[in-house]
Structure 1
Amino acid sequence: MKKLAIFALCMVFVLFFSTWVWANSNGQDIDLYDTDDQIPPYTVLRGIITYVGPFEEDTEHQFYLGRQDFRVKITSKGNFYGKEFDLENIKMGHPLYDLDLRVGQRVLLYAELSGEEIINIGIQSYARDYYLYILVGIFVVVLLLIGGFKGFKALVTLTIMAIVIILGLLPLILKGYNPLNLAIGFSSLIAVLTLFIVGGVNNKSIAATFGVIGGLIVSGVLAVIFGKVAHLTGFSSEEAQMLSFIDEAIKIDIQGLLFAGIIIGTLGAVLDVGMSVASSMAEIQKSIPEIKPLHLLKAGMNVGRDIMGTMVNTLILAYTGSSLPLLLIFRAYETSYDRIINMDLIATEIVRSLVGSLGLILTIPLTASFYILLMSRGKKREENG
Structure 2
Amino acid sequence: MSHDHGPPPAASRRTRRIVTAVLVPAALATLVALILLWPGDVSAEPDPGGGQRALATVTAVAEQTCPAGASQQRCGSATVRVTEGPGAGADQTVDLPQGPGTSALHVGDDVVLLYYPDAVPGGRAYTVVDRQRSAPMMWLVAVAVAVILAFGRWRGLTSLAGLAVSFGLLLLFVVPAILDGSPPLLIAVVGASAIMFAALYLTHGVNVHTSVAVAGTLASLVLTGVLGAVFSSAMHLTGLGSDDSSSLAVTRTGLDLRGLLLAGIVIGALGVLDDVTVTQAVTVAEMTPGATSRWALYRAATRVGRAHVASAVNTIVLAYAGASLPLLLLIAASSEPISDLLTSEYLAQEILRSAVGTIGLVASVPITTALAALVADLGPGTGPAAPEPRAGRHARRG
User: Using the alignment, how far apart are the partners of 1:346 and 1:17 within structure 2?
Assistant: 33
User: Using the alignment, how far apart are the partners of 2:26 and 2:107 within structure 1?
Assistant: 54
Q: CA separation of 1:11/1:333 partners in 2, compared to 1, >3 Å: closer, same or farther?
A: closer
**Which amino acid counterpart does residue 18 of structure 1 have in structure 2?**
I
Residue-by-residue CA offset, 1:155-196 (whole Å, 9 max, x unaligned): 011110111011101111111111011111111111111111
For the 8 Å contact 2:193–2:218, the answer to whether it is kept is yes
Secondary structure of the residue aligned to 1:91 is coil
**For 1:280, which of 266, 280, 283 is the aligned residue?**
283
**For 1:264, which of 263, 267, 270 is the aligned residue?**
267
Once the two structures are TM-superposed, the CA of residue 272 in structure 1 deviates from its matched residue by 1.3
Residue-by-residue CA offset, 1:332-368 (whole Å, 9 max, x unaligned): 3443222122111121111110100000011111111
Secondary structure of the residue aligned to 1:68 is strand
User: Using the alignment, how far apart are the partners of 2:98 and 2:349 within structure 1?
Assistant: 36
For the 8 Å contact 1:30–1:174, the answer to whether it is kept is no
Once the two structures are TM-superposed, the CA of residue 124 in structure 1 deviates from its matched residue by 1.7
For the 8 Å contact 1:106–1:127, the answer to whether it is kept is yes
Q: Does residue 307 of structure 2 align to residue 306 of structure 1?
A: yes
**Which amino acid counterpart does residue 259 of structure 2 have in structure 1?**
G
User: Using the alignment, how far apart are the partners of 1:183 and 1:79 within structure 2?
Assistant: 39
For the 8 Å contact 1:12–1:189, the answer to whether it is kept is no
Once the two structures are TM-superposed, the CA of residue 56 in structure 1 deviates from its matched residue by 1.8
User: Using the alignment, how far apart are the partners of 1:379 and 1:61 within structure 2?
Assistant: 85
Secondary structure of the residue aligned to 2:176 is helix
Structure 2 equivalent of residue 232 of structure 1:
237
Matches for 1:183-198 after TM superposition, within 5 Å: 183-198=188-203
Length, aligned pairs only: 358
User: Using the alignment, how far apart are the partners of 1:246 and 1:293 within structure 2?
Assistant: 55
TM-score (norm 2): 0.82
Alignment gaps of 5+ in structure 1: 381-385
Q: Does residue 49 of structure 2 align to residue 45 of structure 1?
A: no
Matches for 1:43-192 after TM superposition, within 5 Å: 43-53=52-62, 55-60=63-68, 62-76=70-84, 80-92=87-99, 94=100, 96=101, 98-112=102-116, 120-192=125-197
User: Using the alignment, how far apart are the partners of 1:31 and 1:135 within structure 2?
Assistant: 29
**Which amino acid counterpart does residue 217 of structure 2 have in structure 1?**
V
Structure 1 equivalent of residue 385 of structure 2:
none
Secondary structure of the residue aligned to 2:125 is strand
User: Using the alignment, how far apart are the partners of 2:27 and 2:340 within structure 1?
Assistant: 51
Structure 1 equivalent of residue 356 of structure 2:
355
User: Using the alignment, how far apart are the partners of 1:203 and 1:349 within structure 2?
Assistant: 36
Once the two structures are TM-superposed, the CA of residue 7 in structure 1 deviates from its matched residue by 5.1
Secondary structure of the residue aligned to 2:94 is strand
Structure 2 equivalent of residue 215 of structure 1:
220
User: Using the alignment, how far apart are the partners of 2:201 and 2:379 within structure 1?
Assistant: 22
Secondary structure of the residue aligned to 2:376 is helix
User: Using the alignment, how far apart are the partners of 1:258 and 1:72 within structure 2?
Assistant: 42
TM-score (norm 1): 0.84
Residue-by-residue CA offset, 1:88-136 (whole Å, 9 max, x unaligned): 21434x2x2x23111222111222489xxxx932222111222111111
User: Using the alignment, how far apart are the partners of 2:329 and 2:304 within structure 1?
Assistant: 37
Q: Which moved more, 1:335-344 or 1:303-312?
A: 335-344
**Which amino acid counterpart does residue 265 of structure 1 have in structure 2?**
G
Once the two structures are TM-superposed, the CA of residue 32 in structure 1 deviates from its matched residue by 4.5
Residue-by-residue CA offset, 1:38-76 (whole Å, 9 max, x unaligned): 647x432222222223x3231345342332322222333
Matches for 1:3-42 after TM superposition, within 5 Å: 4=20, 8=25, 11-12=28-29, 14-21=31-38, 23-24=39-40, 32-33=45-46, 39=49, 42=51
Secondary structure of the residue aligned to 2:322 is helix
Q: Percent identity?
A: 27
**Which amino acid counterpart does residue 283 of structure 1 have in structure 2?**
E
User: Using the alignment, how far apart are the partners of 1:65 and 1:290 within structure 2?
Assistant: 72
User: Using the alignment, how far apart are the partners of 1:113 and 1:282 within structure 2?
Assistant: 67
**Which amino acid counterpart does residue 92 of structure 2 have in structure 1?**
F
For the 8 Å contact 1:219–1:359, the answer to whether it is kept is yes
Secondary structure of the residue aligned to 2:312 is helix
Q: CA separation of 1:13/1:217 partners in 2, compared to 1, >3 Å: closer, same or farther?
A: closer
Q: CA separation of 1:254/1:30 partners in 2, compared to 1, >3 Å: closer, same or farther?
A: farther
Secondary structure of the residue aligned to 2:329 is helix
Once the two structures are TM-superposed, the CA of residue 142 in structure 1 deviates from its matched residue by 0.5
